Chains A and B, each alone.
Chain A
């Protein structure tokens, strides 16, 4: 039990430290890199918790694809630093107090309802392997799987429609609507 606790403690310290680093970094690029470190260490915890497939998905989808997209947009917009403006009066103090109250509430509820504090038992071999996940995904969860694929398709269409640069100032979606009746007449 003790070696596991030490390994988990070190990884948890990295997770917590990188989360705080993301919060306090003035430069948005540093924030993004701290978040990559956070996602990678959470993936390590997933590995320890018997979820190798989810850990690999975390690394490829989150730490890989999503964070590259973030870094790309930050550098594209040149938005590493915001020019200093007057801060809203004591907004930070209120936010901090609310966060502490929230953490206390969350901790209280979760600790009281979240099980008996027993250690996690040893998992059977093959738990969380790609085979097991795939079997469940294509039997019991096949409908959510299809719904997610449609959500991703709509996401692609939405992103393209939003970004598309038009000569007039109206968004691309409205222009498409205007053109539709003309095609019907022809």
Chain B
């Protein structure tokens, strides 16, 4: 694909920033978690972009490992969210503030 690597960097930076905004702005724990996935995806896009740019396959292998770890991450994270919901009947992160002094 004859596209400058700059465009891919720009798209990845934009996706990462939207993910950060999601973590900062939203109160629904599940949506915060989805924003984390978006940030993983932005990093993966850079890996694949530079793998093509330098014509080295190792970047794609890293994306493979990131995906596998993200899958384990989601399983544990959603289990935690279900536990929080079961104990507090809400997944509003502003209400989970027992440790606040």
Could you list which residues of chain A lie within 8 angstroms of chain B, going by C-beta atoms?
1, 4-5, 8, 12, 15-16, 19-20, 22-23, 28, 31-32, 35, 38-39, 42, 45-46, 48-51, 53-54, 57-58, 61-62, 65-66, 69-70, 73-74, 76-77, 79, 82-83, 85, 88, 91-92, 95-96, 98-99, 102-103, 106-107, 110-111, 114-115, 117-124, 127-128, 132-133, 136-137, 141, 144, 148, 151-152, 154-156, 158-159, 162-163
What CA separation (Å) do A23 and B91 show in the bound complex?
17
Residues of B within 8 A of A (CB): 1-11, 13-22, 24-28, 30-31, 33-35, 37-38, 41, 44-45, 48-49, 51-53, 55, 57-58, 60-61, 63-65, 67-76, 78-83, 85, 90-92, 94-95
Q: Cβ of B9 and Cβ of A110 under 8 Å apart?
A: yes
Query: Are A103 and B57 within 8 A (Cβ)?
Result: no
Please tell me which one of the listed residues B2, B68, B75, B83 contacts residue A69 in the complex, with CB atoms under 8 A apart. Answer: B75
A-B contact count (CB 8 A): 235
Residues of chain A with a CB closer than 8 A to B60's CB: 51, 53-54, 128, 133
Tell me which residues across on chain B come within 8 A of A120, comparing CB atoms. Answer: 1-5, 49, 52-53
Contact A54 B3, beta carbon cutoff 8 Å: no
**Given the complex of chains A and B, what is the CA–CA distance between A8 and B3 in angstroms?**
8
Residues of B within 8 A of A111 (CB): 6, 9-10
